[in-house]
Structure 1
Amino acid sequence: MTEIATVAAADLGASSGRVMLARVGRDLLDLSELHRFGNEPVRVGGTLHWDVLALYRGVLDGLRAAGRAAPGGLDGIGIDSWAVDYGLLDATGALIGNPVGYRDERTEGVMARVHAQLDPARLYAVTGLQNLPFNTIYQLVAARGTPAAAAAHRMLLMPDLLAYWLTGEQGAELTNASTTGLLDATTGDWSTELITALDLDRDLFAPVRQPGERIGTLRPDVAETTGLKPSVPVLAVGSHDTASAVVGVPADGDRFAYISCGTWSLVGLELPAPVLTEAGRQAGFTNEAGVDGTVRYLRNVMGLWLVQESLRVWSAQGRPDDLAALLDEAARQPAFVSVVDPDDPVFLPPGDMPARIADFCRRTGQPAPASPAALVRCIVESLALAHARTVRRARELADRDVEAVHLVGGGARNELLCQLTADACGLPVVAGPVEATALGNALVQARAIGAIDGSLADLRGLLRRHTPTRRYLPSTDPGPAAWTGLQARLYR
């Protein structure tokens, strides 16, 4: 049994990736960032691709840095990433082109075509998945008939693809596979019914792995490139970044809601079993697999993508794009002037987000934000409102009491968002850790290696002892009635 595990956690988000080094023991939890790299999609021939080779190079560079920072060697490597996107391999195991990004337009209209063939209620009864136009099921149908699809022998989701390049072993980690719309939520395996109905090749789908399983050891060429020992194991973690982030929620007990807040806000509850009701389907809730047999009962909210795209546009225009300064100014703006629905499809693709928000406000009879600070205030209030609406609906649908909301990820740094979320929910918001995803990744590795043991509750106890958080209490000004009125105005 290893007393202290030294592991590398590769955490890939939709806008950046990083490799973190963690040292984990029964009374030790230390995390440091070693290497950060960008992740910007590239449009080629009208299609939006991920530069997956650049991402892989970033992971290799990070692992090389991890080897230098851990002279005693690494005990494990784990990879998590965003969901739904994949690479296709040919019969030799070679990648067939760069993966297409989920914001690409190729899936427009595909969901309606699939639903004309498969009853949406039946899809939900099997998968428990929120119907989003970019889910893997719709991407695969959109690609059907293309030369790439004709040559494909295996589909690997993004973290599984990178793990394959590190080890030579193919598989499909459960938590990410559960986001595809093709995994049976009850059995935890690929749905033969759906794959057959859509005329997809069953061999495309790799065997399902559980979080904590050993995938393999480093290929000799990878060991040489990184300077690591070939015996270093690559371990399956909660490879959907939200699954790792939920492991990294420092909750005490089970009466909590979580918001994993970054480019997306994943808002929901941790449950022992899926909720496959028609009411849940109509409300857009999804049942995704978590670590240790748990279910992430959640709804996707567009998240800080609206802020990120606005900052990108302002930067290109040569205008100030200092988020900290904008948030300070936004906190002094008048409340409840204008709000938007973050989940309106108009906000999904890249583009001129400030112009889209202004147009939404005008279309709904509200003033368009008059300044960048006013627009940031509009976005943050809109997100807080969406968070509260989603938490309340999850509680109703799952019949689960909630005493606190844990907000983790990059959004935990956003004091205005945390306070307004507490106000809108009428519940305490516990903010942090910012690095919940990397911490959850590292904890699952450390337990698999044997440096720690116990349940998710035990892992979270270690988190509470070693990670700082900040508690935001709901304010009485303007009070719950004002938020209720705001919601009625937006979602009427």
Structure 2
Amino acid sequence: MTTTYHLALDCGAESGRVMLGTLSRSADNSDGKLALEELHRFPTGAIRIAGSMRWDVLRIADELRQGVKLAVKRSLPISSLSCDTWGVDYVLTRAGEPVLSLPRHYRDPRNIPAYDKVRKQLGEDAIFTETGIQFMAINTLYQLVAAKDADPGLLAAAERMIPMGDWFNYVFSGRAVGDASMASTTQLYNPRTRAWSWTLIEQLGLPKHLFPELVPCGTVLGPVTTEFATDTGLKAETKVIATCSHDTGAAVAGVPAEAGNDWAYLSSGTWSLLGVEHHEPVITPASRKYNFTNEVGVGHTIRLLKNISGLWVVQECRRAWEAAGITYDYTELTRLAEVSAPLKSLINPNDPRFVTADAMPEKIAAYCRETNQPVPQTPGEFVRCALESLALSYRRTLGELEATTGRRLTKLHIVGGGTKNLLLNQLAADATGRMVLAGPIEATAAGNILIQAMALGHLADLAAIRRVVRSSFPIITYQPRDDAAVSQQWAAAYNRFKDLP
């Protein structure tokens, strides 16, 4: 029996964790099994200050450091670590200054004017042809233009723009790079040339020196810094690895799918990221029409996917009710939704109003009034509306994926924290008419750790990673309900949903 130990420093938009991964392999089970243990959890959420939304990356880095210290106390021979985070955000640095300014949150309101300006200036067709990326105001491209317009001195003072997950790996290794999975979220990366889009960068007048060296997913950056080793007690030879620094890339690596083209994945959490895996970019009139994105994964695979607002809508409703003095946990909100009447009110989760923070129940109510639908009255009705609308958006996106790729998608793998919402899993099966396979919850951490193992030579490839996931974690199957009346209800609801603005 051979056992190796690895740490996943996994940061999401609401919380971060340090996860210990134990990979055990024997002669008769060459790929092995993975066990995960959460050592440390902490909040990551945005800071609202002076009309802006920001990330306190120094506090997050310290929380990760504390989690690593807890791992070291186990006296285990930790081989490696890697950090993954949400996409599109970045940190500006220069020599002696690892953080020039607290980085802006992707939902910061100043992105909207830059989004409109750049699309008008360059044209959407030209941008999409160069990058193959879905148009969203949160993308790094628009953030950098907003920064250039609002504070050109800050960009001029910076030596590097390091994508968020890569920045934490930089802090721990001393090597500043952009891994391909994270770079591909920026809308400043060309997936055909596998390089920064110098064409767009020059057209936008962005300083070329800001953009770091690019490396493929699964690159060993080197040992931890002396400072980090001394502070945490890690051995000096512990490796820092750029796995998929973008958490969705790590999660898709952790999808327990078998070979074939009949499956799609859904990384379910604050965002719903629904797509298929391809071996080359899909930059076509169809992918442009449906606003798909081409993000990079392990082995330069392409994640052809769409970003959907996800459980963010429910999270923001809960936050609004909590601010009003009414506290619910997610289990209670789901129970209230389950006993509420089905398919009364629907929203388009990708309407721009639902992407920004604050006053979410009021936004849902206003949308329902504008579209002549019943206005939800109770927390259960609001949450049911959000979950059913998500499920219908999955149905639409799966149809668009089939139209774009020519594939027949019969299975939907749902991974991530959203799989804990059993109601949403069943709604997804009913709405799409497809088998749903839910799990693992910890797909991102599993993918992160198993890419580390692959980088160190313990696993052969992405197929081996997925074999380990299948043998290590329970997968729950949800079938569409075999009820003609239910199917008719969903069909009628989908027709209403398609007509929503």
Asked if these proteins are the same fold (TM beyond 0.5), I'd say yes
Deviation, structure 1 residue 455: 2.6
Aligned 8 A contact 1:127 1:185 in 2: yes
Q: Distance in 2 between matches of 1:374 and 1:112?
A: 34
What pairs up with 1:50-129 in 2 under 5 angstroms? 50-69=55-74, 71-129=75-133
Q: Counterpart in 1 of 2:313?
A: 306
What pairs up with 1:369-448 in 2 under 5 angstroms? 369-448=376-455
Point out 4+ residue stretches in structure 1 off by more than 4 angstroms.
none
Return 5+ residue gaps in structure 1 as ranges.
none
Deviation, structure 1 residue 488: 2.0
Q: Counterpart in 1 of 2:27?
A: none
Q: Distance in 2 between matches of 1:365 and 1:331?
A: 24
What amino acid maps onto 2:218 in structure 1?
Answer: G
Aligned 8 A contact 2:90 2:162 in 1: yes
Larger displacement relative to structure 2 (258-267 or 469-478):
469-478
2:215 matched to 1:209? yes
What amino acid maps onto 2:322 in structure 1?
Answer: S
What pairs up with 1:91-240 in 2 under 5 angstroms? 91-145=95-149, 146=151, 147-240=153-246
Q: Counterpart in 1 of 2:28?
A: none
Please, what is the CA RMSD of the aligned residues? 1.3
Larger displacement relative to structure 2 (125-134 or 223-232):
223-232
1:44 aligned residue (49, 56, 59): 49
Q: Distance in 2 between matches of 1:271 and 1:401?
A: 14
Q: Distance in 2 between matches of 1:483 and 1:454?
A: 43
> How many residues end up aligned between the 2 structures?
489
Deviation, structure 1 residue 483: 2.2
Q: Distance in 2 between matches of 1:154 and 1:466?
A: 40
Aligned 8 A contact 2:416 2:443 in 1: yes
Aligned 8 A contact 2:418 2:441 in 1: yes
Structure 2 residue matching 1:346: 3-state secondary structure: helix
Q: Distance in 2 between matches of 1:343 and 1:126?
A: 24
Deviation, structure 1 residue 56: 0.3
What amino acid maps onto 2:259 in structure 1?
Answer: G
Q: Distance in 1 between matches of 2:327 and 2:53?
A: 28
Deviation, structure 1 residue 48: 0.9
Q: Distance in 1 between matches of 2:381 and 2:491?
A: 21
CA deviation vs aligned residue, 1:214-237 (integer Å, no higher than 9, x gap)? 112111111111111122110010
2:332 matched to 1:333? no
Q: Distance in 1 between matches of 2:389 and 2:423?
A: 12
CA deviation vs aligned residue, 1:145-192 (integer Å, no higher than 9, x gap)? 512112111100111111111111110010010000110010111111
1:32 aligned residue (37, 45, 52): 37
Q: Counterpart in 1 of 2:4?
A: 5
What amino acid maps onto 2:345 in structure 1?
Answer: S
1:484 aligned residue (491, 495, 501): 491
Q: Distance in 2 between matches of 1:392 and 1:430?
A: 18
What amino acid maps onto 2:15 in structure 1?
Answer: S
Structure 2 residue matching 1:329: 3-state secondary structure: helix
1:469 aligned residue (471, 475, 481): 475
Q: Percent identity?
A: 40
Structure 1 residue matching 2:237: 3-state secondary structure: coil
Structure 2 residue matching 1:214: 3-state secondary structure: strand
Structure 1 residue matching 2:389: 3-state secondary structure: helix
Aligned 8 A contact 2:216 2:300 in 1: no
Q: Counterpart in 2 of 1:247?
A: 253
1:256 aligned residue (243, 260, 263): 263
CA deviation vs aligned residue, 1:122-160 (integer Å, no higher than 9, x gap)? 111111000101100011111115121121111001111
Q: Distance in 2 between matches of 1:351 and 1:198?
A: 31
Structure 2 residue matching 1:109: 3-state secondary structure: helix
Q: Distance in 1 between matches of 2:68 and 2:96?
A: 26
What amino acid maps onto 1:189 in structure 2?
Answer: A
Q: Distance in 2 between matches of 1:98 and 1:329?
A: 39
Structure 2 residue matching 1:9: 3-state secondary structure: strand
What amino acid maps onto 1:133 in structure 2?
Answer: A
Q: Distance in 2 between matches of 1:386 and 1:443?
A: 31
Q: Distance in 1 between matches of 2:407 and 2:60?
A: 39
What amino acid maps onto 1:15 in structure 2?
Answer: E
What amino acid maps onto 1:29 in structure 2?
Answer: L
Return 5+ residue gaps in structure 2 as ranges.
25-30
Q: Distance in 2 between matches of 1:488 and 1:460?
A: 37
Structure 1 residue matching 2:195: 3-state secondary structure: coil
Deviation, structure 1 residue 356: 1.1
Q: Distance in 1 between matches of 2:470 and 2:477?
A: 13
Q: Distance in 1 between matches of 2:310 and 2:85?
A: 17
What amino acid maps onto 1:6 in structure 2?
Answer: Y
Deviation, structure 1 residue 91: 4.3
Judging changes above 3 Å, is the alpha-carbon distance between structure 1 residues 320 and 37 closer, same or farther for their aligned structure 2 residues? closer
Judging changes above 3 Å, is the alpha-carbon distance between structure 1 residues 403 and 491 closer, same or farther for their aligned structure 2 residues? closer
Aligned 8 A contact 2:188 2:201 in 1: yes
Aligned 8 A contact 2:254 2:444 in 1: yes
How high is the TM-score relative to the length of structure 1? 0.97
Deviation, structure 1 residue 93: 4.5
CA deviation vs aligned residue, 1:371-429 (integer Å, no higher than 9, x gap)? 11111111110111111111111111111221210001111111110001001111100
